[in-house]
Structure 1
């Protein structure tokens, strides 16, 4: 029994079970019953949470640590696994020496996170490192055995990143993560909802075609399938945290400073980021980052702090609940309203109800959340300032050249494009094209595009009702897997910035698709100029920039392609006029197979511009003249 895992006195089994399972994104009934049986048989069950030391930890890491604090209060022996081998395999561009520095940084940062929640000493949890057992003969032998049982489809099944990778090392991640469960030898494993999904992207078994479309896949499913086949028969309970959305309304990303708050951000920057965060009563509450912070971080911490203060475990105001003095009993969060009269809430549901009914303004809610976050993060910054080694390892783990995500040459949606030279800015004095980055661009694009669903009428995909669906159903499903496609964000440098790019406003999208370096050809597609910016210079300059880049010779900074194609629906008259106006040559109409009256297909008009048109027939001069209008 661990001396560090001591539950509160007088906590009965049901209360301890509630502390372990409440607020989770998912816990299956079978896992709940397994946890209950473990509590009946063991005073101090063990749990581990694994984390790969990759990008700098941000406030998203508060979510698992809120649960870890609850677990410690319930008397669970908590082990944090720094998965440095996994981090090296999945982020193979970085050397192991850099991963080692990041593992050290994570230990400092996560220790401070744990202490900041309740003021408990970090000795109440244990840190383990994957390399401590991953280099042993037993682990290596188990790895070989799992590899001998694992098909490519099974290795790719846990998530989209593995499904689309062209490298071998990420495909070993399911093997390594599954063996972590065996070698940590705990009763429970804590993970995020990203560790399990229901999209059935691949197969674990040879007869995978018979699997239902809603059947689970993911890292844990892979482990449940294969670990028993190498002799690991002990069934661990799995519990899953929800995931915190980014401040822009989509996934929080360590590489996008606008989407997250770093654990070391100063108070004024925390206030600024929360003030600028999306928070609209009309949006999906699951994508609202301010409500999410309240639901999965601030209210659970306030509840824990209130319970600890009643038990006499904390006495300093640094770890007090997020409430005013003299509030009604049971209050967990206070908000100062515009009238000066504070509102006190005993539950998240009450806050959400007031906000959706517009009795609680977005600005008042943001202000209260910003103050609570500053209070929560203050001990973490203090720990950093007081620790010379932590300050030193920050520079080793995250060199300055890697901090500016906006300057990155590749992006989440375009990094697999077959021509790396195209993954850069293409611009003139009026318009700039930059590779699309979902964490930076999707929120602003959908803020405008959501008002005009007709822009998707003639396309093969859409419309989308949110930034989340745009990213999941278009970027992740259609764009990211392709090596022949790069999607660009269009920035109008003549317009005032709307926060996405310092040089101008986000006004649309454009892409190369069907690109072949062997055949020296590509196609310009997904030409979407948002309606407020149509009938301006935007479309002609966007198309013109891609034509110049594709057809100009390498000596002129181009790709030296021989053909650029344009294909559009025969009833998309705007697209046809654009192609004709830019000087494309019409080649004909491809007739679609009309299967039935509900599936009419699409008759497509084919246009082209070839190198001889460009250099010998004056099309280059014509395009550049159109761009200057």
Structure 2
């Protein structure tokens, strides 16, 4: 990608390179007019929320095309957007995640041979908090209808039942970024099309020019749907090790002959082949297989591979093996950079913390009769060494099948609850909800249940789980936590930056009060979102919100 190489390209050649493999271009004629006089100026933005995954290589490979065509590319680290999008990133973590994203994105570009000295990195809050930007934002808000703002963010901003005002501001800020970054065009996924149309409509209302918009196709994830940071099984993180990459690809959706909903083939098409053409190289994708199954085959164009896969000449297992090798080759330089740099490892912990208890463990008196072969003593020590954090709490989506009054306590219910156990058998759960919620409102209801507490008896009836409910500060209102619509029974509730409790791996010892210590940080914030230390409760379908309760505790 030399300057001399760029200068020899005609405007038509630059335009073809700029627009190749895109799904849609808005304002193509304007781009051609600009190319007649000078090189294009463009920005791509990313909000530092969840850990970047291999899906980011799709825009990265396209940005490599832009640079080859002489485009001036700005990478916007949209920290304010990260918080506005339904609090995907708590404010106290945004600054660390912004730095993490910048370092990881730079490492990823280097891994595919893109010179980062040609990229300009800008942090959104550096100009979005200025007086001028705020005034323009107010001017924009005075012209935009609620309907248009909500419609613009429908495909990008996380949709919840009780929508936040921040979600309406998000599209406007993204539109204003085009003016404040001084670009001719914005680049993003086709899922942002409504925001791009919004920008084209409303920027002229403020006296600003309309920009062009370039859109990548949306690449399916490993599970067959959109690749998402909130669904661990749909993505491979840029720092996943070789074994993890192999494991995730092995169970990825890759139906024989299916070329339409195939995230693995899409990755080959939109990442591996475009990267293979950088610096004038001829791309090649190699599938190694035993001679009895056809032997090695080398593809120099994507269409031939797709045709062979459609015709079942290439087996999904062989395709997965080849892509596993290619992805590990891409990620290896990034992993090595991280492993050799203590500051980057520290930054990772700051951006995605795994906190332990603030209390120092009490020293135990050593017994003179202590034996190294005392298995019960060793087990106790191992348990006490585990971190006291939310990753040890097994919270799942559950469904209440039947509700009866407790035979000895009119203020309690005994419910039959399906928590998605492998046995298929529901659990009996005692709850003190009879004084707050009518029985008919619980029947068939989806709830959140803590499933790894030690069973306990309540007035003669044993309870094998605990339903999570929130209470108002004055304790006058009690409301069950409802999972987002579409969440599946047995699905784990997650908190970004924390692991998930392994089922059946640990029944929490009541003497250690692990749940009691962790749940002290379970809150309902002022937006009605269930949070742990400010981090939202999530399922694959979105954030856990409460219908009416605002600001309260969860137990």
| Same fold by TM-score greater than 0.5 | yes
Task: Determine if contact 1:4/1:124 at 8 Å carries over to the other structure.
Answer: no
Match of 1:36 among 15, 32, 36: 32
Task: Determine if contact 1:303/1:332 at 8 Å carries over to the other structure.
Answer: no
Match of 1:228 among 196, 204, 211: 204
Matches of 1:108 and 1:391, distance apart in 2: 11
**Equivalent residue runs for 1:265-280 within 5 Å:** 265-280=240-255
Structure 2 residue 1 is matched with structure 1 residue 25: no
Match of 1:360, SS state, is: coil
Match of 2:297, SS state, is: strand
Shift of 1:74: 0.9
Alignment correspondent of 1:288 = 262
Alignment correspondent of 1:194 = 191
Distance 1:239 1:163, change over 3 A: farther
Shift of 1:408: 9.0
Task: Determine if contact 1:155/1:162 at 8 Å carries over to the other structure.
Answer: no
Task: Determine if contact 2:284/2:300 at 8 Å carries over to the other structure.
Answer: yes
Match of 1:27, SS state, is: strand
TM-score when scaled to structure 1?
Answer: 0.57
Task: Determine if contact 1:98/1:396 at 8 Å carries over to the other structure.
Answer: yes
Match of 1:366 among 317, 320, 332: 320
Match of 1:149, SS state, is: coil
Structure 2 residue 334 is matched with structure 1 residue 338: no
Distance 1:191 1:5, change over 3 A: farther
Shift of 1:129: 0.9
Alignment correspondent of 1:176 = 173
Task: Determine if contact 1:48/1:188 at 8 Å carries over to the other structure.
Answer: yes
**Equivalent residue runs for 1:455-466 within 5 Å:** none
Structure 2 residue 407 is matched with structure 1 residue 493: no
**Equivalent residue runs for 1:433-582 within 5 Å:** 491-494=420-423, 521-522=440-441
TM-score when scaled to structure 2?
Answer: 0.65
Task: Deviation per CA, 1:501-559: give whole Å up to 9, x if none.
Answer: xxx9xx9xxxxxxxxx87664375699xxxxxxxxxxxxxxxxx99x979xxxxxxxx9
Matches of 1:117 and 1:549, distance apart in 2: 48
Match of 2:272 among 272, 275, 298: 298
Shift of 1:370: 0.8
Distance 1:92 1:225, change over 3 A: same
Distance 1:16 1:560, change over 3 A: closer
Matches of 2:299 and 2:94, distance apart in 1: 43
Task: Determine if contact 1:6/1:74 at 8 Å carries over to the other structure.
Answer: no
Task: Determine if contact 1:254/1:260 at 8 Å carries over to the other structure.
Answer: yes
Shift of 1:163: 7.4
Distance 1:524 1:14, change over 3 A: farther
Task: Deviation per CA, 1:219-250: give whole Å up to 9, x if none.
Answer: 11221222111111x22110011122111111
Task: Determine if contact 1:248/1:258 at 8 Å carries over to the other structure.
Answer: yes
Alignment correspondent of 1:376 = 330
Task: Deviation per CA, 1:333-389: give whole Å up to 9, x if none.
Answer: 121133262112122111011011111111111111111111111111122223332
Please report the RMSD computed on the Cα atoms of aligned residues, expressed in angstroms: 3.6
Matches of 1:34 and 1:194, distance apart in 2: 22
Alignment correspondent of 2:13 = 15
Match of 1:126 among 116, 120, 123: 120
Match of 2:122, SS state, is: strand
Match of 1:261, SS state, is: coil
Shift of 1:282: 4.5
Task: Determine if contact 1:520/1:560 at 8 Å carries over to the other structure.
Answer: no
Matches of 2:222 and 2:391, distance apart in 1: 16
Alignment correspondent of 1:156 = 150
Distance 1:186 1:333, change over 3 A: same
Distance 1:136 1:426, change over 3 A: same
Shift of 1:409: 8.6
Shift of 1:32: 2.0
Gaps of 5+ in 1: 197-217, 310-329, 411-422, 429-487, 496-503, 508-516, 528-544, 551-558, 562-629
Shift of 1:424: 4.7
Structure 2 residue 217 is matched with structure 1 residue 242: yes
Match of 1:157, SS state, is: helix
Match of 1:78, SS state, is: strand
Give the paired residue count: 397
More RCO (CA 8 Å, sep 6+): 2
Match of 2:247, SS state, is: helix
Alignment correspondent of 2:55 = 60
Matches of 2:4 and 2:442, distance apart in 1: 64
Matches of 2:334 and 2:88, distance apart in 1: 30
Match of 2:111, SS state, is: helix
Distance 1:127 1:187, change over 3 A: same
Task: Determine if contact 1:190/1:238 at 8 Å carries over to the other structure.
Answer: yes
Match of 1:250, SS state, is: coil
Shift of 1:164: 4.5
Shift of 1:75: 0.8
> Could you tell which deviates more after superposition, 106-115 or 254-263?
254-263
Distance 1:346 1:408, change over 3 A: farther
Task: Determine if contact 1:256/1:405 at 8 Å carries over to the other structure.
Answer: no
Task: Determine if contact 1:157/1:163 at 8 Å carries over to the other structure.
Answer: no
